[in-house]
Chains A and B, each alone.
Chain A
Amino acid sequence: MSERLTPRAVDKLLRLGAETPVPPGGEGATMIQGLGAVDLGKYRLIHEIGRGGMGRVYEANDTLLHRRVALKLMPETVGLSEVLRRRFAREAKAAAKLSHPNIASVYDATPDYIAMQLIDGGSILDVVGQPPRLIARLLRDAALAVQYAHEHGIVHRDLKPSNLLVEGDGDDRRVFVLDFGLAKESATESSLSLSGSILGTPAYMPPEQAAGRARDVDERSDVYSLGATFYSCLTGRPPFEHEEVLQVLRLVVEQDVRAPRVDPDLDAIVLKCLAKERSRRYASARELADDLTRWLDGEPVQARPPSLTYRLSKFVRRRKAYFIVAGAAGLLSGAFGLVALQQAASTRAAEGAVRLAMRSEALLDNAREHFRQGEPVVARELLTTGVDSWQQFLANYEVPEGHYSLGRLYRWLGQRDAALGALDRALQLEPDHSGARFERGLVSFAELESRLALQRLAGPDGDPDEAAEIEALRRSATADLAAVEGLDAARASSLGLMDVRYARAQVRRLEGNLASAEAELEALLEAAPEHGPARLALARVCMELGKADKALEHSAGMVDLENGFAPVFLARSAGAGSAAGRGRELPTASLSGVGVPVVDFVVTDPERGDPAVAAAAAALAALRAAAAAPAAASPPLEGWNRAVVLGSRALDVDAGLAGVWHNRGVGRMVSAQLLSDGGQLVAAASATQAALNDFARAAELAPEFSSARLAQVQLRLTQAERLLKVGRLSQAATQLREAGSEAAAVLRLAPEGDRALELLDAVRQRLADIEALVPRQR
């Protein structure tokens, strides 16, 4: 030691050390690994300068280039997968190409951290209370920087005061825009954030983003956020405030912002940025910058308070909505004078309806994302929230838009009858509501598919009444879906162009025009390769056309699209023709809570013909429906039983379909679990035995079908656990030994199988438990 510290020095240095707030233990502690290692690559961390949804930010030294940088560490929260972190890095690398005096440069980006220019300054909100000229100048510079990024194809998507830093003093203040390219991927995360709490304030988010319409986000969204930041700088508060994030989102979508009342021209500029409709904002960041320059130069600005005609047209629109509302709610009982008095209140109600509808769309988007992520519980919660809001609202004011929206939510909740009820009501109130017709078409179409499957099962001797009903269903589904052809442009765009084309293709398919359906779907997929339903529809159409290879290819494409979809393809291509059923397994995800993958399959043996395929599909649909059904909605056993019954019918048609055997086993397995949970142990045992037989049969037909074999292992394991509970040790041990040898066999087949290994471990563990118990029993 070179220095001998005096007690006085020790005291001083301790006080200095104590100035660091003691961070909550554990999280984030990973960075410091002992003396001499407070580093990350060539960066030496100096101190933490902030943290947010994007993780921690440190001031650091680049030890090679000897410059100070801001180092953003990628958050290590669960859920931010390696894949996503890599994507972050890629986006940040794209942003690294930007070079502009008002953009903080990105030096370096890896999945672990992003190194960027260190700005010695604070948030732009530090200028609150400064002369408007200064604020306008800083915002103008920021707008020019944003324009520069737009010209390089990068939309920021997350502009807010904490991303606009100001360095320097007095009139030399300089603004820097941070974090270009980092928000794009956060959009994927935001659905998580909504239900969690990672998301920061959405007060600066444009309505299109707040409503979850990701595809509507463009350069004008950045203009909005700049305007919102401008608003905050001028007034000291964001345009919309509320303690709860969801409420802020609602305000952003629903409420008109109040003018900052700083200067008439600046007010007009801010309000133009903050217009709810993108088309009423500045068309580009440059236009905003130009207007600010005009203001700074004392020239007249282009932004105007909303014109008289605009306000009039808005008034008329409101009145129209008002009449629908008032008529339904019986408010129109008084004289017209009374109407005028009540107008303020009911206009708000009508607007509320429209905005509640927008919020429902956001909820739907989120819910779909959760379904895709394999989190049906969260998804259903979101949807139910939407349903509740609407039911409350519709109890007071009946609007077609509300019933339509409710119908959509119900459809996604899988409540067919409720969905049809709501959509019918919407169409009663507004017969030309094409969105509602389209939606009703989708509901009928799904029903039609399963009825058709059942009818094919019954063969030519089917019930003639059923045939007539199906024909009626076909006609109404076709007519409803065809309604999208007549959509006006506005409605079509709100539905999404791709959905319209999808509907068109399904209509072709219903009409029996398979080739045209195929062409339509192919064109759609070219434009939107990630459209899952279209990809599946195309696979089915190809199957119906007998194009086995293409069907398989498109089905395989689904795997990448929807990781909750779980396709194991037992494809019998015409060429292979083996009765045993050849298949290939693809990465699968588990059916909710059961731990066994559902098998989806495309049977491509034209000789086997439609009935088997249709029956298998119907059984699969029932299985899916059972898995997706809300636990409390109906006795859950019923859904699973239905899946088992449909599976049996399919096997009556063709007992050679290993996938169907497997899936029926899954149905029985879940039933067994439910029975066991309900205390019906004898019934549970027999259901388990039946499930075992099913899986065994599947494995017999396709020995390489490891999923079926592992399901047996798992079942025996479960069975053993039940036996253990009631103290029947030797029976449990027998089950476990069989499970063990089966797992080992699968492992020999595919040595890299993680699941086999896991199960084998579990089996061994249980056996060890039993051995430990046995001496004590004696």
Chain B
Amino acid sequence: MAETSGQGLNARPAFPTTCWSRILGRGSGQRDLEQLAHAYWRPVFGFISALGKPREDARDATQDFFAWLLQSDLLAKADPQRGRFRAFLKTALRNFVIGRDRRDGAAKRGGGLAVVPLDGGDALEGFISGDELRTLRPEDVLDRLWRAALVERATEALRQELEEEGREVYFAVFRDYFLAAEDVDYQDVAIRYDLSRASVSNYLQYAKKRYRLLLRAAVEETVADPEALREELHWLFGESG
């Protein structure tokens, strides 16, 4: 017991484990992957659709892709793009498509992983037009849908959270303000929910602050290290404004 001094710094990990880093760390993590697949099936679906697949085929192919991903050794391979789930998926999708055209139908449908809702056929409506689907690169389609998926995920988390806390009105205000088809002002919203303008403002401020954190958290789920996080946030916000 001669040497005990000098240590004892209670160092915490520099970066949290995220959904994506857990998947990478284990090489396979069915539950985490399923979670991400559920959140990001639409961008994948868009990618495959942009390759010119008919809807029904694209739907099956999306299912197959995630099943294939789980079974493949891709997750265990070192790859400079592994830090970001989005970038990783693009590479994986290209690999999958090349392989799949050769062994069409060989993979088991679904593989026990149903990520695309049955009515997911018209999932792209409103996001991407038929023309765009034919002209845009599949990667660009995926990116555009990815943004929407992140925002959706954060919004959904916000809704759940506010409802759990009994703050349904907060979310209603937030929804009216940000999700509605037309612009609204405080006055409209105040009348609609029988609130003072000050309350509307306060609720909105709260929801906005919380939303920003949740959006950031949603991005964090899909990256494995700080550098990747910075790149991903830069991609998300840098090109949106």
Interface of A with B (CB < 8 Å)? 1-20, 22, 24-27, 29-30, 32-38, 45-47, 59, 63, 76, 78-79, 81-83, 85, 374, 563, 568, 585, 587-590, 597, 706-707, 710, 750, 752-755
Q: Out of A17, A63, A374, A588, which one reaches B154, CB within 8 Å?
A: A17
The residue in chain A whose Cβ has the minimal distance to the Cβ of B151 is: A13
User: Can you list 23 A-B contacts with CB-CB less than 8 angstroms, sorted by A residue number?
Assistant: A1-B156, A3-B159, A4-B126, A10-B152, A13-B211, A20-B213, A26-B15, A26-B227, A30-B15, A32-B220, A33-B17, A35-B218, A38-B213, A38-B217, A45-B213, A46-B209, A47-B209, A59-B209, A78-B9, A82-B10, A588-B2, A597-B3, A710-B3
Q: How many residues of B contact A (CB 8 A)?
A: 64
In Å, the complex CA distance between A11 and B181 comes to 12
B63 at the interface (CB under 8 A from A): no
Task: Name the residue in B13, B147, B213 with the highest tally of chain A Cβ atoms < 10 Å from its Cβ.
Answer: B213
CB distance from A122 to the nearest CB of B (A): 16
Q: Check if B9 sits within 8 Å of A81, measured CB to CB.
A: yes
CB contact under 8 A between A29 and B226, given known A38-B213, A38-B214: yes
B206 at the interface (CB under 8 A from A): yes
The residue in chain B whose Cβ has the minimal distance to the Cβ of A6 is: B126
Task: Name the residue in B147, B151, B161, B225 with the highest tally of chain A Cβ atoms < 10 Å from its Cβ.
Answer: B151
- Give residues 168-224 of B contacting A (CB, 8 Å): 175, 178-181, 206, 208-218, 220-221
CB distance from A752 to the nearest CB of B (A): 6
The residue in chain A whose Cβ has the minimal distance to the Cβ of B212 is: A20
The residue in chain B whose Cβ has the minimal distance to the Cβ of A33 is: B16
CB distance from B28 to the nearest CB of A (A): 19
In Å, the complex CA distance between A589 and B213 comes to 44
Which A residues lie within 8 Å of B147 (CB)?
Answer: 10, 14
- Give residues 1-59 of B contacting A (CB, 8 Å): 1-19
CB contact under 8 A between A15 and B209, given known A1-B152, A25-B229: no
Q: Check if B236 sits within 8 Å of A755, measured CB to CB.
A: no
Which A residues lie within 8 Å of B79 (CB)?
Answer: none
Which A residues lie within 8 Å of B165 (CB)?
Answer: 63
CB contact under 8 A between A752 and B212, given known A10-B147, A35-B153: no
Q: Check if A754 sits within 8 Å of B210, measured CB to CB.
A: no
B155 at the interface (CB under 8 A from A): yes
Q: Check if A16 sits within 8 Å of B208, measured CB to CB.
A: yes
In Å, the complex CA distance between A34 and B39 comes to 13
B55-91 CB contact bits vs A (8 Å, 1 = yes)? Answer: 0000000000000000000000000000000000000
In Å, the complex CA distance between A706 and B16 comes to 39
Q: Check if A8 sits within 8 Å of B181, measured CB to CB.
A: yes
Task: Name the residue in A25, A47, A750 with the highest tally of chain B Cβ atoms < 10 Å from its Cβ.
Answer: A25
B94 at the interface (CB under 8 A from A): no
CB distance from A198 to the nearest CB of B (A): 16
CB contact under 8 A between A585 and B212, given known A6-B181, A18-B237, A22-B234: no
Q: Check if A17 sits within 8 Å of B216, measured CB to CB.
A: yes
Q: Out of A14, A24, A710, which one reaches B2, CB within 8 Å?
A: A710
B241 at the interface (CB under 8 A from A): yes
The residue in chain B whose Cβ has the minimal distance to the Cβ of A754 is: B3
Which B residues lie within 8 Å of A754 (CB)?
Answer: 3-4, 7
Which A residues lie within 8 Å of B210 (CB)?
Answer: 46-47
In Å, the complex CA distance between A26 and B224 comes to 11
Q: Out of A17, A34, A82, which one reaches B215, CB within 8 Å?
A: A17
Q: Check if B18 sits within 8 Å of A16, measured CB to CB.
A: no
The residue in chain B whose Cβ has the minimal distance to the Cβ of A29 is: B15
The residue in chain B whose Cβ has the minimal distance to the Cβ of A559 is: B5
CB contact under 8 A between A25 and B230, given known A6-B126, A46-B209: yes
- Given contacts A26-B229, A35-B221, list 12 more A-B pairs with CB under 8 A: A3-B155, A5-B152, A10-B151, A14-B151, A16-B178, A22-B234, A30-B15, A32-B220, A35-B218, A374-B6, A706-B2, A754-B4
CB contact under 8 A between A76 and B213, given known A63-B165, A588-B3: no
Q: Check if B181 sits within 8 Å of A47, measured CB to CB.
A: no
Interface of B with A (CB < 8 Å)? 1-19, 126-127, 147-148, 151-157, 159-161, 165, 175, 178-181, 206, 208-218, 220-221, 225-227, 229-230, 233-234, 236-237, 240-241
In Å, the complex CA distance between A46 and B205 comes to 10
CB distance from A276 to the nearest CB of B (A): 39
The residue in chain A whose Cβ has the minimal distance to the Cβ of B220 is: A32
Q: Check if B220 sits within 8 Å of A15, measured CB to CB.
A: no
Which B residues lie within 8 Å of A85 (CB)?
Answer: 10
The residue in chain A whose Cβ has the minimal distance to the Cβ of B213 is: A38
In Å, the complex CA distance between A759 and B205 comes to 57
Q: Check if B178 sits within 8 Å of A22, measured CB to CB.
A: no
Q: Check if A5 sits within 8 Å of B179, measured CB to CB.
A: yes
In Å, the complex CA distance between A4 and B42 comes to 13
Task: Name the residue in A22, A37, A588 with the highest tally of chain B Cβ atoms < 10 Å from its Cβ.
Answer: A22
Q: Check if B2 sits within 8 Å of A597, measured CB to CB.
A: yes
CB distance from A450 to the nearest CB of B (A): 27
Which A residues lie within 8 Å of B7 (CB)?
Answer: 754
CB distance from A762 to the nearest CB of B (A): 14
Which A residues lie within 8 Å of B159 (CB)?
Answer: 2-3
Q: Check if A46 sits within 8 Å of B3, measured CB to CB.
A: no
Q: Out of B2, B180, B237, which one reaches A753, CB within 8 Å?
A: B2
Which B residues lie within 8 Å of A706 (CB)?
Answer: 1-2
The residue in chain B whose Cβ has the minimal distance to the Cβ of A25 is: B226
In Å, the complex CA distance between A707 and B5 comes to 14
CB distance from B235 to the nearest CB of A (A): 11
The residue in chain A whose Cβ has the minimal distance to the Cβ of B206 is: A46
Task: Name the residue in B1, B151, B161 with the highest tally of chain A Cβ atoms < 10 Å from its Cβ.
Answer: B1
The residue in chain B whose Cβ has the minimal distance to the Cβ of A705 is: B2
In Å, the complex CA distance between A18 and B180 comes to 20
Which A residues lie within 8 Å of B12 (CB)?
Answer: 30, 76
In Å, the complex CA distance between A37 and B14 comes to 17
Q: Check if B5 sits within 8 Å of A755, measured CB to CB.
A: no
Q: Check if A3 sits within 8 Å of B179, measured CB to CB.
A: yes
In Å, the complex CA distance between A36 and B39 comes to 15
Which B residues lie within 8 Å of A2 (CB)?
Answer: 156, 159
In Å, the complex CA distance between A38 and B221 comes to 12
Which B residues lie within 8 Å of A585 (CB)?
Answer: 1-2
Q: Check if B216 sits within 8 Å of A34, measured CB to CB.
A: no
The residue in chain A whose Cβ has the minimal distance to the Cβ of B145 is: A10
CB distance from B146 to the nearest CB of A (A): 11
Q: Check if A589 sits within 8 Å of B11, measured CB to CB.
A: no
In Å, the complex CA distance between A2 and B152 comes to 10
Which B residues lie within 8 Å of A12 (CB)?
Answer: 178
Q: Check if B5 sits within 8 Å of A36, measured CB to CB.
A: no
Q: Check if B175 sits within 8 Å of A3, measured CB to CB.
A: yes
Which A residues lie within 8 Å of B3 (CB)?
Answer: 587-588, 597, 710, 753-755
CB contact under 8 A between A15 and B226, given known A10-B148, A26-B14: no
CB distance from A408 to the nearest CB of B (A): 29
CB distance from B131 to the nearest CB of A (A): 15
Which B residues lie within 8 Å of A25 (CB)?
Answer: 225-227, 229-230
Which A residues lie within 8 Å of B2 (CB)?
Answer: 568, 585, 587-588, 597, 706-707, 710, 750, 753, 755
Q: Check if A34 sits within 8 Å of B217, measured CB to CB.
A: yes
Which B residues lie within 8 Å of A13 (CB)?
Answer: 151, 154-155, 178, 211, 215
Q: Which 5 interchain pairs have the tightest Cβ spacing?
A: A25-B226, A26-B226, A755-B3, A18-B237, A25-B230
Task: Name the residue in A30, A47, A76, A563 with the highest tally of chain B Cβ atoms < 10 Å from its Cβ.
Answer: A47
Which A residues lie within 8 Å of B234 (CB)?
Answer: 22
In Å, the complex CA distance between A36 and B234 comes to 23
In Å, the complex CA distance between A8 and B178 comes to 9
CB contact under 8 A between A14 and B240, given known A3-B175, A8-B181: yes
Q: Check if B211 sits within 8 Å of A17, measured CB to CB.
A: yes
CB distance from A710 to the nearest CB of B (A): 7
CB contact under 8 A between A29 and B220, given known A3-B152, A597-B2: yes
Q: Check if A46 sits within 8 Å of B213, measured CB to CB.
A: yes
In Å, the complex CA distance between A754 and B230 comes to 38
In Å, the complex CA distance between A374 and B6 comes to 9
Q: Out of B127, B211, B229, B230, which one reaches A16, CB within 8 Å?
A: B211
Which B residues lie within 8 Å of A587 (CB)?
Answer: 1-5
